[in-house]
Chain A
């Protein structure tokens, strides 16, 4: 198969090509240098990211169409069944929330008595995941809410069951969420049962996290629920992070090895919640997260504990 031959093409070889390569190499090395040391390129990244939104939208299109079609052909019985199920579920949840509102009010009163800085109840916005990272070593997802919807860097993202991750990069229409399972991520947590604090590190696997520096004498058991402790100022307090699945105490080691299964369905959830902290004037000592803190300092500043 003789393709694309024209006599001009001979001259793409030779010294010109080498010069152009040298220019490209210089350009990319300076880009790498500038992007890793300074923040001037963030607006360029945001601009390109916004321009790429149609690609994400188109890539989600087949799934949306099939979802729409399956909705079109669902039988009346199964819809009725689902409706009944949801109604009964709603009753149960309503009863719980009735109790919860009185408990929250009481808790806030008690916190006021104690002069505590923050009140409960953050606002949430429902968002949809539009794509996952193509690279298993960088565990990102892309969500369809961006700066225009008020999303800010460092914001916590939840699914129906627990903490998913935090926003690390936002453009006007969509933003990128680093999952808690990424190997560069850490969450400050506490054990729900007794309030002991720890830090849950991602290890790059979707199905477990590890707790760092847990003394072998710590009161921690398999099945303990870990909730976010709110220390470090990035994640709101009290959202479930995971359940302890394994505690290995090796004789002679001063630290126990603890594995945690995330509560959130990191690789399955499609509908997510973005949490807005309500910074009521005078009631909060938490200022906005500095927009330029990097992922590592953002996640790992839990070491302030």
Chain B
């Protein structure tokens, strides 16, 4: 069931992820909000590694820098480093069962968040400790969901 690549599906899924990313939530849930944009990016990189690569990561990074109000370039750097990691293991990652993929997603999102938080600590002096690992954890849990939903979307919009 190889869906043809469609930019429409990519756009719709990234739009949905961005909306989930800015959705107003009670404070307690904010600490556990999965990194929707990042896992959607990982999904498309695994599906179409020749189409969705570092340039997409740069565009999304710029967008996320504006959404989060951080210094320009913070998310660009984090997303491109993560994209490099995804693209260099994508052949193996595709063969893994979903649970194992979730574990890898945990590490990928964790590395991406680490870059963002280290930079924001250096540039803006914010103190956050290791609480961002929760975000990586919930992202790993959300991975199978994204896999199923975006598969559906890609099939219906091809």
Q: Which residues of A contact B (CB under 8 A)?
A: 1-6, 8-13, 17-18, 20-21, 23-25, 27-36, 41, 44-45, 48-49, 52, 55-56, 58-60, 63, 130-138, 140, 142, 169, 176, 183-184, 204, 206, 267
- Given contacts A24-B80, A132-B30, A134-B33, 7 further A-B pairs with CB under 8 A are A2-B95, A24-B83, A131-B22, A131-B24, A135-B30, A137-B128, A138-B70
Minimum CB–CB distance from B126 to chain A (whole Å) comes to: 4
Cβ of B81 and Cβ of A12 under 8 Å apart?
Answer: no
Cβ of B24 and Cβ of A35 under 8 Å apart?
Answer: no
Cβ of A4 and Cβ of B54 under 8 Å apart?
Answer: no
Residues of B within 8 A of A25 (CB): 77, 80-81
Please indicate which of the listed interface residues A25, A176, A183 has the most CB atoms of chain B within 10 Å of its own CB: A25
Residues of A within 8 A of B30 (CB): 132, 134-136
Which of B2, B57, B73, B83 is A30 in contact with, Cβ under 8 Å? B73
Q: Which residues of B contact A (CB under 8 A)?
A: 2, 15, 18-25, 27, 30-31, 33, 46-50, 53-55, 57-58, 61-63, 66-74, 76-77, 80-81, 83-84, 87-88, 90-91, 94-95, 98, 119-120, 123-128
In the complex, what distance in Å separates the CA atom of A134 from the CA atom of B61? 16
Given known contacts A12-B87, A183-B126, A4 and B47 CB-to-CB distance under 8 angstroms: yes
In the complex, what distance in Å separates the CA atom of A49 from the CA atom of B62? 10
Contact sample, A vs B, 23 pairs, CB 8 Å cutoff: A2-B95, A4-B2, A4-B94, A8-B50, A13-B91, A18-B84, A20-B53, A21-B54, A21-B80, A28-B74, A28-B77, A32-B123, A35-B73, A36-B123, A48-B62, A49-B66, A58-B19, A131-B24, A132-B25, A134-B21, A134-B30, A136-B31, A137-B128
Minimum CB–CB distance from B108 to chain A (whole Å) comes to: 15
Minimum CB–CB distance from B102 to chain A (whole Å) comes to: 14
Given known contacts A13-B88, A134-B21, A137-B128, A31 and B72 CB-to-CB distance under 8 angstroms: yes
Given known contacts A183-B126, A206-B27, A29 and B88 CB-to-CB distance under 8 angstroms: no
Binding site secondary structure of chain B: helix
Minimum CB–CB distance from B80 to chain A (whole Å) comes to: 4
Residues of A within 8 A of B71 (CB): 31-32, 35-36
Residues of A within 8 A of B76 (CB): 24, 27-28, 31
Please indicate which of the listed interface residues B25, B47, B66 has the most CB atoms of chain A within 10 Å of its own CB: B66
Which of A24, A63, A132 is B77 in contact with, Cβ under 8 Å? A24
In the complex, what distance in Å separates the CA atom of A255 from the CA atom of B27? 32
Residues of B within 8 A of A63 (CB): 24
Residues of B within 8 A of A30 (CB): 73
Given known contacts A48-B62, A134-B21, A4 and B126 CB-to-CB distance under 8 angstroms: no
Minimum CB–CB distance from A157 to chain B (whole Å) comes to: 15
In the complex, what distance in Å separates the CA atom of A11 from the CA atom of B87? 10
Cβ of B77 and Cβ of A29 under 8 Å apart?
Answer: yes
Given known contacts A21-B81, A45-B66, A12 and B49 CB-to-CB distance under 8 angstroms: yes
Which of B27, B46, B84, B124 is A17 in contact with, Cβ under 8 Å? B84
